[in-house]
Amino acid sequence: MKLVHYYSPGQGGAWGLLEFDTVHPFATDEGCGGAFLSSLLQWPNPVEALAAIYGEVQRGEGISLDELLAAPVDPHVPHLLAPLDLQEVWAAGVTYQRSKVARMEESVGGGSFYDRVYDAERPELFLKATPSRVSGPNAPVRIRKDAAWNVPEPELTVLVSSTGRIVGYTIGNDVSSRDIEGENPLYLPQAKVYRQSCALGPVIWLETEEIERRPFDITLTIERNGAEVFSGSTNTNQMRRTFADLVSWLMRDNVLPHGAFLMTGTGVVPGDEFTLLPGDVVNIAVPELGVLRNPVVQGD
């Protein structure tokens, strides 16, 4: 089952399920007090609960997913929204060898911290974004005004219920300022958490079974003036940790009343000479989930 969150003129936000290429709406943000996903994630088995709800409710007229994917973020046309309502977005770091090496290279004096966390039992976890900092498909992601070296981080992102059950997957972009995090590891929250520093979408793939670690292919491409300026790929089987292990650490003495998204780390880092520029377009493709595409902005 694939869950889609989109905006429809006159109706506002709506949630639909994908059947073949068509999204069938069955709940509106307004009708659910802006908390449809939050209430779903409070069920012991959210995927079963959704299947039951969907069987009972009257489905609205369908809309083509391709049309939504191609639509600009414009209040006059139906377009995709980030697939969340009240969830926090958490992130894991240094879960791939490539990220460990990149962090050690960029870091002025903090290199051994990254080396140690890669091998340690306890993973690096941090709060990446609250819902208002998250962009949906085709909406801008941002590079900070006060940063000179910025990258997208393409990350398989797990959806977790309020009791810590892995219930689905989406694509995430953990946009980061490498010069700020490299200057001092204590600056990490500023390198990671700011407006439009995170993108999620285009859909949530809900799984009926918990599967520890799917071998998801992840490809990042970056376009500049219509030409490709970077392309790189990885697979989640290169991760040093399992999704379930990361989620178990996230749940320790934590509360996730609305469920949460957990970005599982990047395994693709462009070379040190590369920085994002305003006007670039970032595409992150995962065959099972589609493509998350976002233009890059900076400044006012």
Chain positions contacting ligand DO4, by CB under 6 A: 91, 93-94, 99, 103, 124, 153, 174, 181, 188, 265-266
Least spacing, CB of residue 192 vs ligand DO4, in Å: 7
Q: Which does 223 bind (CB under 5 to 8 A by kind): ligand DO4, Mg ion, none?
A: none
Least spacing, CB of residue 300 vs Mg ion, in Å: 26
Rank residues 16 and 201 by Cβ distance to Mg ion and give the closer one. Answer: 201
Rank residues 29 and 153 by Cβ distance to Mg ion and give the closer one. Answer: 153
Least spacing, CB of residue 150 vs ligand DO4, in Å: 13
Q: Which does 99 bind (CB under 5 to 8 A by kind): Mg ion, ligand DO4, none?
A: ligand DO4
Rank residues 103 and 142 by Cβ distance to ligand DO4 and give the closer one. Answer: 103
Q: Which does 85 bind (CB under 5 to 8 A by kind): Mg ion, ligand DO4, none?
A: none
The enclosing H or E element of 25 equals strand 22-28
The Cα 229–Cα 249 span in angstroms is 37
Q: Which residues bind Mg ion (CB under 5 A)?
A: 153, 174, 266
- The answer to whether residues 243 and 213 touch, using CB atoms and an 8 Å cutoff, is yes
Rank residues 79 and 192 by Cβ distance to ligand DO4 and give the closer one. Answer: 192
Query: Which among 139, 129, 96, 122 is positioned nearest to 294, based on CA atoms?
Result: 139
Query: Which among 274, 244, 82, 242 is positioned nearest to 176, based on CA atoms?
Result: 274
Q: Which does 94 bind (CB under 5 to 8 A by kind): Mg ion, ligand DO4, none?
A: ligand DO4
Query: Which among 186, 184, 181 is positioned nearest to 266, based on CA atoms?
Result: 181
Q: Which does 103 bind (CB under 5 to 8 A by kind): ligand DO4, Mg ion, none?
A: ligand DO4
Rank residues 54 and 126 by Cβ distance to ligand DO4 and give the closer one. Answer: 126
Q: Categorise residue 178: left if φ over 0, alpha if ψ from -120 to 50, beta otherwise.
A: alpha
Residues 6+ apart with CB under 8 A from 6: 13, 14, 16, 23, 25, 63, 68, 78, 79, 80, 81
Q: Map tokens 């040190």 to a residue.
A: 272
The Cα 22–Cα 69 span in angstroms is 12
Least spacing, CB of residue 6 vs ligand DO4, in Å: 28
The dihedral over CA atoms of 233, 178, 292, 206, expressed in degrees to the nearest 10, equals 80
Least spacing, CB of residue 92 vs ligand DO4, in Å: 7
Q: Residue 187 has which token pair?
A: 């600056």
Rank residues 54 and 126 by Cβ distance to Mg ion and give the closer one. Answer: 126
Least spacing, CB of residue 228 vs Mg ion, in Å: 22
